[in-house]
């Protein structure tokens, strides 16, 4: 069994429960006799290459326990795209700090980062264990039933849509529609999460625009007209990455990040919600509203799902469990055993099966019309978001 220090990093966008995973790793690592010191990367792999390393073992038990309910990424994150020339620098830092165990929490690109580091170290004859801990509000990682962070973000979206829908219902004589945009470049999991808010046909959301289906302007406008005439207002939720049939983003965004991902709405470009707002206004002369929450869904600790917090901690602890077994080159997975009662356990998947890939929503979760989700998806979703608030409704009995 390898003997040395462990280092932990958090990378990419945060979630409201990524720090719970950090707490899980730290607590489990304290009980692993092969780990001497528990270190942290300040600002992820970018900070590590600069020697920005902190002593997590110096933190109090109270602080570590408090991480379970703390939003953001307390270690600090980055979106550095790993280059081949970075690998020798990282290896030098691994040797300098006697790191034999590396745990990185993140999404697709993070899994690619730790996979490449682990492989390079092996090629250079440096023994180390590299384990990935899943994280992303997008819920688009391969190999896992769902990702820590998704349930809380979906809950945030559902409550927001529920509350903004009440406002739209009551203000329908002024504003005929409301649009909410969620993050999600290629997968509609988060936009689809809004469906948890719906209990009756008139309840929001009425229309979902998902990246998995080509955006058909004529069909969407027809659906808008139908819903407005039936309910008096229209609630629409769209993923930021929706595209027309030819692949052109509805947002008309052109800028890209370091990973060559389109930054929807960045640098002055239109957002999908703004573009859709204009289409509806131009077609029907309706006044309406749009809401673009961006990172709010990633840090809404006040709306975090209890299941999500517990599973994030469980995933962090499981990462150390894999290391104890002498395993490396893996990502922890969440495996659902049943819905009623809900039961989930951890598993494992090879990093090379996860890295730089995106998992779209399966066809059986999307209605044939392409603008809403099926009952199968609702069954999948409900345990993750938990119970939603109940609001009073008048009977509107006329005098």
Give me the chain's average pLDDT, please.
94
pLDDT at residue 258 in the model: 57
Band the pLDDT of 261: cuts 50, 70, 90. Answer: low
Q: Write out pLDDT tens, residues 203-231.
A: 999 999 999 999 999 999 999 999 999 99
Tell me which of 164-178, 223-237, 346-360 is least confident: 346-360
Q: Is the CB of residue 209 less than 8 Å from the CB of residue 277?
A: no
Angle subtended by helix axes 375-385 and 150-170, to nearest 10: 110
| Number of C-beta neighbours around residue 299 at 10 A | 21
State the DSSP H helix or E strand holding residue 383, giving kind and residue range, or none if neither: helix 375-385
Question: Can you tell me the distance from the alpha carbon of 118 to that of 224, in angstroms, rounded to the nearest whole number?
Answer: 51
- Pull the structure tokens for residue 378: 């609702």
Q: Is the CB of residue 346 less than 8 Å from the CB of residue 315?
A: yes
**Ramachandran sector of residue 247 (left: φ over 0; alpha: ψ -120 to 50; beta: rest):** left
Band the pLDDT of 294: cuts 50, 70, 90. Answer: confident
pTM metric for this prediction = 0.94
pLDDT at residue 267 in the model: 39
pLDDT at residue 252 in the model: 72
Question: 269 pLDDT exceeds 60?
Answer: no
Torsion of CA 343, 346, 349, 354, to 10 degrees: 70
Question: Can you tell me the distance from the alpha carbon of 141 to that of 285, in angstroms, rounded to the nearest whole number?
Answer: 41
Tell me which of 122-126, 144-148, 253-257, 305-309 is least confident: 253-257
The one catalytic residue in 112, 138, 203, 308 is 138
- Pull the structure tokens for residue 366: 């999307």
The contacts found for 116-125 with CB under 8 angstroms, 24 or more apart, are: 116/82, 116/87, 117/45, 117/82, 117/87, 117/90, 118/328, 118/329, 118/351, 119/329, 120/87, 120/90, 120/91, 121/91, 121/94, 124/91
Q: Is the CB of residue 36 less than 8 Å from the CB of residue 5?
A: yes
Beta bridge partners of 235: 178
Question: Can you tell me the distance from the alpha carbon of 286 to that of 268, in angstroms, rounded to the nearest whole number?
Answer: 25
Catalytic annotation on 138?
A: yes
Query: Which residues, 6 or more positions from 308, have their beta carbon under 8 angstroms from its beta carbon?
Result: 16, 17, 148, 149, 150, 151, 152, 155, 384
Question: Can you tell me the distance from the alpha carbon of 80 to that of 356, in angstroms, rounded to the nearest whole number?
Answer: 14
In sign, the C-alpha dihedral spanning 300, 302, 305, 306 is: positive
Query: Which residues, 6 or more positions from 392, have their beta carbon under 8 angstroms from its beta carbon?
Result: none
Band the pLDDT of 259: cuts 50, 70, 90. Answer: low
Question: Can you tell me the distance from the alpha carbon of 211 to that of 242, in angstroms, rounded to the nearest whole number?
Answer: 4
Question: Can you tell me the distance from the alpha carbon of 210 to that of 185, in angstroms, rounded to the nearest whole number?
Answer: 10
Give the distance, in angstroms, between the CA of residue 257 and the centroid of all CA atoms in the same chain. Answer: 18
Tell me which of 4-8, 15-19, 264-268, 312-316 is least confident: 264-268
Residue 279's nearest CA partner among 236, 329, 309 is: 236
For the residues of 70-102, what is the DSSP string, one character each?
--S-TT----PPP-TTHHHHHHHHHHHTTEEEE
Q: Write out pLDDT tens, residues 355-391.
A: 878 899 999 999 999 999 999 999 999 999 999 999 9
Strand residue runs (E) in the chain: 4-10, 35-41, 53-55, 99-106, 129-134, 177-182, 207-209, 234-239, 288-292, 330-339, 342-350
Q: Is the CB of residue 204 less than 8 Å from the CB of residue 149?
A: no
Q: Is the CB of residue 235 less than 8 Å from the CB of residue 206?
A: yes
Where do the domains of the chain lie, and which CATH numbers do they carry? 4-148+302-353 (3.40.50.450), 153-300+360-385 (3.40.50.460)
Rounded to an integer, the average pLDDT of 268-283 is 86
């Amino acid at each position: 069994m390898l003997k040395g220090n462990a280092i932990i990093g958090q990378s990419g966008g945060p979630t409201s429960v990524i720090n719970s995973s950090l707490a899980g790793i730290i607590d489990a690592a304290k009980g692993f006799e092969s780990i001497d010191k528990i270190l942290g990367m300040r600002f992820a792999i970018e900070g590590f290459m600069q020697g920005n390393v902190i002593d997590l073992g110096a933190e109090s038990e109270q602080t570590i326990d408090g991480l379970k309910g703390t939003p953001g990424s307390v270690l600090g994150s980055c979106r550095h795209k790993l280059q081949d020339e970075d690998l020798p620098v990282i290896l030098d830092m691994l040797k300098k700090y006697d790191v034999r165990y590396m745990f990185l929490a993140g999404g697709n690109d993070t899994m690619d980062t730790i996979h490449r580091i682990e492989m390079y170290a092996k090629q250079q004859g440096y023994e180390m264990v590299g384990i990935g801990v899943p994280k992303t509000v997008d819920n688009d990682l391969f190999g896992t039933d769902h990702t820590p962070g998704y349930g809380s973000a979906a809950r945030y979206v559902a409550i927001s849509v529920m509350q903004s829908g009440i406002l739209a219902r009551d203000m329908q004589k002024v504003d005929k529609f409301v649009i909410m945009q969620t993050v999600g470049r290629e997968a509609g999991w988060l936009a689809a999460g809004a469906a948890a808010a719906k209990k009756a046909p008139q309840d929001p959301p009425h229309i979902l625009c998902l990246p998995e289906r080509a955006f058909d302007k004529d069909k969407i406008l027809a659906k808008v007209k139908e819903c407005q005439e039936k309910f008096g207002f229209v609630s629409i939720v769209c993923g930021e990455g929706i595209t027309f049939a030819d692949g052109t983003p509805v947002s008309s965004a052109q800028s890209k990040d370091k990973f060559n991902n389109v930054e929807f709405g960045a640098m002055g470009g239109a957002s999908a919600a703004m573009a859709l707002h204009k289409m509806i206004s131009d077609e029907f002369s309706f006044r309406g509203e749009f809401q673009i929450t961006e990172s709010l869904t990633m840090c809404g600790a006040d709306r975090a799902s209890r299941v999500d917090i517990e599973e994030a901690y469980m995933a962090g602890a499981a990462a150390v469990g894999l290391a104890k077994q002498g395993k490396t080159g893996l990502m922890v997975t969440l495996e659902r055993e049943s819905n009623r009662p809900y039961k989930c356990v951890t598993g494992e998947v090879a990093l090379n099966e996860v890295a730089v890939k995106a998992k779209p929503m399966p066809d059986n979760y999307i209605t044939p019309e392409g603008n809403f989700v099926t009952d199968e998806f609702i069954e999948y979703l409900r345990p993750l978001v938990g119970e939603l608030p109940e609001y009073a409704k008048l009977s509107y009995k006329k005098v």
